[in-house]
Amino acid sequence: MKHQTKLLTLALTSASALSAPVFAADGGTSPVQDRRIGYVMTSEYKAIWDTPDGKAECPQGINNGPREEFKILYPDDKKWTILESQLERESEVWFPKLTAQPKLPYYESVAKTSFGIDLNDKVDDNDYTDPDGNKGIDNQTQRAWGCTANYRSTSYNLGAFNNWRKYSYNIIVIELTDVDDLINDPDVTLTTYRGMDKPMTDATGATYLSGGTQRVDMRFGKSFIQKFKGKIVDGVLTTEGADYTMPSAGNGSSVADVRYYGARWRLALTPDRAQGILGGYMDINDWNAAANQGRSTHHQAYGQAATPSIYRAMIKNADYADPKTGAMIGISTAFKVGLTQVFVTHPDMAVSANTAAPATATSISRD
Amino acid sequence: MRYDWYTARVIGVLAAAVCAMSAHGALAQSQKGAAQMEHYVREPTPPGIKVFPSKLDGPVYTDANGRTLYQWPRKELRNGGTGDMKGAASICDTTVSTENLGLMSPYPAGLTLPDVATRKSCEAMWPPALAAADAKPVGKWSLIKRKDGRNQWAYDGFVLYTSVMDKKPGDTIGGTNNGRRSNDPPGSPGGDSPVARVPIGPSPDVPGQFIVDQSLVGRQLVLSNGFIVYAWDGDKPNKSNCVGECLKAWQPVLAPEIGVNVREEWSVIERAPGVKQWAYRGRPLYTYIPDGSPGVQHGLDVPGWSTVYTQYTPSAPAGDFTQQETAAGITLADSKGKTIYIYNCGDDAADQLACDHPDTPQEYRYAVCGGGDPVRCAQTFPYVIATNTKGANEAWTVMAIDPATGHRAKAGQADAINVWAFRDRPVFTFVRDDRPGSIRAQSWGEFYGQRNGYKVFFLREEFQGR
């Protein structure tokens, strides 16, 4: 039945196919093999909308970081002990106060625009409109992070965070199955895995190439497997929501996987690349452990990121309640993601490297 | 059946399932080889200097009284470095540090240390390995004058010390080689860990293609480029049965045609005319082709194949410990499956004294484990209570702790708790690890748990942060 529906869809969309590249499944040089196509994530950036000078979204200025806050709390006019200064600040990282700290103001973004996905199919007062005019965008990290240098588009750390995606622990592979057409297909399944292979690059290591292979990790990576139902319309895949755990190893061998509740993907697909947004309600404590507490105060200082202040802002702007307890545990967020096509090999397949499609290059640059 | 690397992987997954059902897979491997000790290259030593076969750190040099000898090579930290320079006099003297040096960004120098009232000098904690006035240098051993004119032994150009924390001959409580490889330069490992004192010892007696990599499990034989080395149960002593399809996944470690020195425990087998392969303790050695990168050990998931250690660290007592699979590998766990953590700490003073032991200041630990509150600390990172001392060994001991202070309990103290300690330091679990295999406190604390914080006790660390 499903297959008949797809055939009908194919027929109905034949007109658009005449004016768009046709990526026929299961044939020729298409990377769609056995109605499957895989991609490996090769870039990931926090999706925060900002302006060059920040005046529009951050009229009160950019937030202080650990060094600036330390100077406010511990001026040079007296001798301080490690216990009352450094260790007090480190205590706050791991056991943050949840009440506002008058000496340490923290500014939220007042932007009305942001990137992301409508995660709850509603337009709420706090929602954003994306640059394409889509309303109901759920991304409260725009509010919590938008005036902190660490997450703004000029931050050095955006590149550092993106580099985490290259760690072996963090290789994210998605596989689309039941694919009849990469342009229009009403019923496909996206499955996430952890990959076991470094994404293929050119000889310089600076450019990702499509056509590589990725073995999926069924030994230690089972917790990263999730299925999302989706559809492809005019070359754009959108999925329904599902909970997803993202592998998140960071600096210094830190490992703190992050759960995303009701995560959704929106990806523009080509045979070589997928690009778009991963959105979801991020578990605040998971993320705090992975990328806030999970970064040393030294590294947080690179981006004027004061760990306790950021955590307080995320708790304040939480918009996802635990269905069992009602506690607010998640905050809506979004990532700009880029993926490069790979051939996915499963342990139950004796698949050798696919030779169907020629390699094409994807420049490793910021999306 | 087709036997390629992917088939091997399929078998590996099946093996993993079997392995997961075995409570003590890695522990058992360790126990099997517990009696074996590493052989070393013999070299001239001064009178009285001996080699002690440490079960925790391999062969180490000791002085005439059996005290382990340590170096303190200089290392550069975020805002400068400290430690001894090669060929230079010791900087570890009778000065008592009272302030931090600000070596660890972003905090400034000049903050008063927590233990100024009781703090000892560097020299008091690390007595120099003194030599007689008429001592003579020999081999790698030389003499360097301290600032007070006394002769101090040096090895490979770095002056030597003993540790007041070591109580028995050959103890390495003062410092460890964990995380170091036998070809690492002085001052390793890098990163943000303290400038550490490390026990010194003779080089492992291994061919030049190999090095020894020390982890919490033991001293692992790997190729000098970091690739993991394996042995196969299907082989016979000094005979390889890995032929044909087997060779598509397993690469014999070839030995040179000529110039092979005679070494204890090492042999060379001839696979074919002119094709020679290394064998260690009679077991032919291989690499696993699908590993692909240094440090990766996917071959462990193939039945019958194992990694190779020159010696194992004594295992955790089976009664109070288990092992668990996590997304990052296999960890040591308590009897309920909760991941075990070790605590690391070195202060930011010029002498970088340790703060990771019950005899050292507890303020650092309390800051990151309880927000400064010892009670909250004990709730967040509970000790692992020792139900008895069965299974205690050179590495794992039962220690009586005063729960109010975190220091050792006094003799006969009524409220003392008996806890398990590894290398004389208590180990912990984490309250937010809500299921077996959870490792939510990995790298908890200052500088990713390297400086003042917690690290998982890995039995098989699959990713090593890569």
Partners of B445 on chain A (C-beta within 8 Å) are: 90, 94
What pTM does this model have?
0.90
- Count of domains for chain B: 3
In this prediction, residue B260 carries a pLDDT of 67
Please report whether residue B179 resides in a domain.
yes
Chain B stretch 5-44, residues whose beta carbon is closer than 8 A to a beta carbon of chain A: 6-7, 9-10, 12-13, 16
In this prediction, residue B177 carries a pLDDT of 94
In this prediction, residue B462 carries a pLDDT of 85
What per-residue string of b and e applies to B143-157 under the rule 16 or more CB within 10 Å gives b? bbebeeeebbbbbeb
Note whether A215 contacts B: Cβ–Cβ < 8 A: yes
* Band of pLDDT at residue A256, cut at 50, 70 and 90: confident
In this prediction, residue B82 carries a pLDDT of 96
- How many pairs of residues across A and B have Cβ atoms under 8 Å apart? 155
Q: Is A7's pLDDT higher than 50?
A: no
Q: Cβ contact (<8 Å) for B7 and A350?
A: yes
Q: Are residues B62 and B24 in the same domain?
A: no
Q: Mean pLDDT over residues B15-22, rounded?
A: 36
Partners of B462 on chain A (C-beta within 8 Å) are: 220
The beta-carbon neighbor of B106 closest among A70, A80, A93 is A70
Whole-angstrom Cα distance, residue B113 to residue A80? 10
The beta-carbon neighbor of A220 closest among B2, B114, B462 is B462
Contact call for residues B101 and B80 (beta carbons, < 8 A): yes
Q: Is B357's pLDDT higher than 50?
A: yes
Work out the angle between the directed axes of helices A86-94 and B363-370 (0-180°, nearest 10). Answer: 30
Q: Are residues B445 and B334 in the same domain?
A: yes
Note whether A163 contacts B: Cβ–Cβ < 8 A: no
Q: Is A281's pLDDT higher than 90?
A: yes
* Band of pLDDT at residue B391, cut at 50, 70 and 90: very high
Among residues B461, B462, B460, B431, which one has the least CA distance to residue B444?
A: B431
Partners of A219 on chain B (C-beta within 8 Å) are: 12-13, 16, 301
- Tell me, letter by letter, the H, E, C secondary structure of A252-315: HHCECCEEEEEEEEEEEECCCEEEEEEEEEEEHHHHHHHHHCCCCHHHHHHCCCCHHHHHHHHH
Dump pLDDT digits (tens) for A86-121. 999 999 999 999 998 999 999 999 999 999 999 999
Chain B stretch 216-275, residues whose beta carbon is closer than 8 A to a beta carbon of chain A: none
Q: Is pLDDT larger for residue B350 or for residue B31?
A: B350
In this prediction, residue B62 carries a pLDDT of 98
- Please tell me the least confidently modeled range out of A208-212, A361-365, B188-192: A361-365
Q: Mean pLDDT over residues A66-86, rounded?
A: 97
Note whether A223 contacts B: Cβ–Cβ < 8 A: yes
Contact call for residues B428 and B406 (beta carbons, < 8 A): no
Please report whether residue B210 resides in a domain.
no
Chain B residue with CA closest to A89: the answer is: B367
- Please tell me the least confidently modeled range out of A185-194, A273-282, B119-128, B285-294: B285-294
Computed over every residue of chain B, the mean pLDDT equals: 91
* Band of pLDDT at residue A6, cut at 50, 70 and 90: very low
Question: What is the residue range of B154's domain?
Answer: 40-204
Q: Are residues B274 and B407 in the same domain?
A: no
In this prediction, residue A231 carries a pLDDT of 98
Dump pLDDT digits (tens) for A25-42. 444 567 899 999 999 999
In this prediction, residue A270 carries a pLDDT of 97
* Band of pLDDT at residue A251, cut at 50, 70 and 90: confident
A276: which strand partners?
Answer: A267, A337
Q: Mean pLDDT over residues B303-322, rounded?
A: 96
* Band of pLDDT at residue B240, cut at 50, 70 and 90: very high
Partners of A345 on chain B (C-beta within 8 Å) are: 6
Note whether B328 contacts A: Cβ–Cβ < 8 A: yes
Q: Are residues B341 and B271 in the same domain?
A: no
Chain B stretch 171-190, residues whose beta carbon is closer than 8 A to a beta carbon of chain A: none
In this prediction, residue B259 carries a pLDDT of 60
Q: And the tokens for B254? A: 């070839």
* Band of pLDDT at residue A154, cut at 50, 70 and 90: confident
Q: Are residues B334 and B447 in the same domain?
A: yes
Partners of B104 on chain A (C-beta within 8 Å) are: 298
Q: Cβ contact (<8 Å) for A86 and B107?
A: yes
Q: Is pLDDT larger for residue A181 or for residue B5?
A: A181
User: Nearest CA to CA, how far is A194 from chain B (Å)?
Assistant: 10
Which of B270, B291, B312 finishes a domain?
A: B312
User: Nearest CA to CA, how far is B370 from chain A (Å)?
Assistant: 7
* Band of pLDDT at residue B19, cut at 50, 70 and 90: very low
Q: Cβ contact (<8 Å) for B367 and A223?
A: no
Chain B stretch 351-410, residues whose beta carbon is closer than 8 A to a beta carbon of chain A: 363-364, 367-372, 376
Residue type, position A51, single letter: T
B247: which residues sit within 8 A by CB, 6+ positions away? none
In this prediction, residue A254 carries a pLDDT of 83
Please report whether residue B177 resides in a domain.
yes
* Band of pLDDT at residue B32, cut at 50, 70 and 90: low
Indicate which of B448, B456, B461 best probes the interface with A, i.e. most A CBs within 10 Å of its own CB: B448
Partners of A83 on chain B (C-beta within 8 Å) are: 114, 363, 367, 372
Which of B204, B228, B243 finishes a domain?
A: B204
Which residues of B327-431 form beta strands (DSSP E)? Answer: 329-334, 341-345, 396-401, 417-422, 425-426
Note whether A72 contacts B: Cβ–Cβ < 8 A: no
Q: Are residues B124 and B243 in the same domain?
A: no
Whole-angstrom Cα distance, residue A45 to residue A336? 5
Q: Mean pLDDT over residues B438-450, rounded?
A: 93
Question: Is residue B80 helix, strand or coil?
Answer: strand
User: Nearest CA to CA, how far is B111 from chain A (Å)?
Assistant: 5
A331: which strand partners?
Answer: A282
Chain B residue with CA closest to A171: the answer is: B466
Dump pLDDT digits (tens) for B180-210. 999 888 887 777 899 999 999 999 999 999 9
Note whether A86 contacts B: Cβ–Cβ < 8 A: yes
User: Nearest CA to CA, how far is A28 from chain B (Å)?
Assistant: 26
Whole-angstrom Cα distance, residue A285 to residue A291? 10
Q: Are residues B190 and B247 in the same domain?
A: no
Dump pLDDT digits (tens) for A331-351. 999 999 999 999 999 987 643
In this prediction, residue A253 carries a pLDDT of 78
Partners of B9 on chain A (C-beta within 8 Å) are: 215, 347
Peptide bond into B426 cis (omega under 30): no
Give the start-to-end residue ranges of the domains of chain A.
Answer: 2-18+26-363
Whole-angstrom Cα distance, residue A89 to residue A57? 29
- Tell me, letter by letter, the H, E, C secondary structure of A261-277: EEEEEEEEECCCEEEEE
Residue A170 carries which DSSP code? G
Q: Is B29's pLDDT higher than 60?
A: no
Partners of A290 on chain B (C-beta within 8 Å) are: none
Q: Are residues B454 and B403 in the same domain?
A: yes
Chain A stretch 140-159, residues whose beta carbon is closer than 8 A to a beta carbon of chain B: none
Q: Is pLDDT larger for residue A135 or for residue A165?
A: A135
The beta-carbon neighbor of B364 closest among A85, A87, A298 is A87
CA B287 to chain centre: 23
Which of B277, B312, B347 finishes a domain?
A: B312
Q: Are residues B60 and B196 in the same domain?
A: yes
Contact call for residues B207 and B278 (beta carbons, < 8 A): yes
Q: Is B173's pLDDT higher than 90?
A: yes
Question: Is residue A87 helix, strand or coil?
Answer: helix
Q: And the tokens for B364? A: 């650092």
Q: Mean pLDDT over residues B343-362, rounded?
A: 97
Chain A residue with CA closest to B438: the answer is: A256
Q: Cβ contact (<8 Å) for B13 and A347?
A: yes
Q: And the tokens for A93? A: 């990282």
Dump pLDDT digits (tens) for B317-326. 999 999 999 9
Return the percentage of chain B with pLDDT > 90, whole number: 85
Chain B residue with CA closest to A250: the answer is: B465
Q: Are residues B187 and B264 in the same domain?
A: no
Note whether A68 contacts B: Cβ–Cβ < 8 A: no
- Helix, strand, coil percentages (3-state) for chain A, rounded to 5, are 25, 30, 45
Whole-angstrom Cα distance, residue A196 to residue B5? 13
Label residue A111 left, alpha or beta by phi (over 0 means left) and psi (-120 to 50 means alpha).
beta
Work out the angle between the directed axes of helices A307-316 and A86-94 (0-180°, nearest 10). Answer: 30
Q: Which residue has the tokens 């990172």?
A: B381
Q: Cβ contact (<8 Å) for A254 and B107?
A: no
Whole-angstrom Cα distance, residue B21 to residue B13? 13
Q: Are residues B16 and B150 in the same domain?
A: no
Please report whether residue B343 resides in a domain.
yes
Q: Cβ contact (<8 Å) for B326 and A85?
A: no
Q: Mean pLDDT over residues A181-187, rounded?
A: 97
Q: Cβ contact (<8 Å) for B442 and A255?
A: yes
Q: Is B234's pLDDT higher than 70?
A: yes
Q: And the tokens for A179? A: 């694919």
Q: Mean pLDDT over residues A273-297, rounded?
A: 94
Q: Mean pLDDT over residues A181-202, rounded?
A: 96
Contact call for residues B370 and B378 (beta carbons, < 8 A): yes
Q: Mean pLDDT over residues A247-266, rounded?
A: 91
B60: which strand partners?
Answer: B52
Chain B residue with CA closest to A83: the answer is: B114
Among residues B45, B20, B110, which one has the least CA distance to residue B333?
A: B20
Contact call for residues B304 and B233 (beta carbons, < 8 A): yes
Partners of A89 on chain B (C-beta within 8 Å) are: 107
Q: Cβ contact (<8 Å) for B106 and A297?
A: yes
Q: Are residues B175 and B230 in the same domain?
A: no
The beta-carbon neighbor of B111 closest among A80, A194, A250 is A80
Q: Is B219's pLDDT higher than 80?
A: yes
In this prediction, residue A24 carries a pLDDT of 46
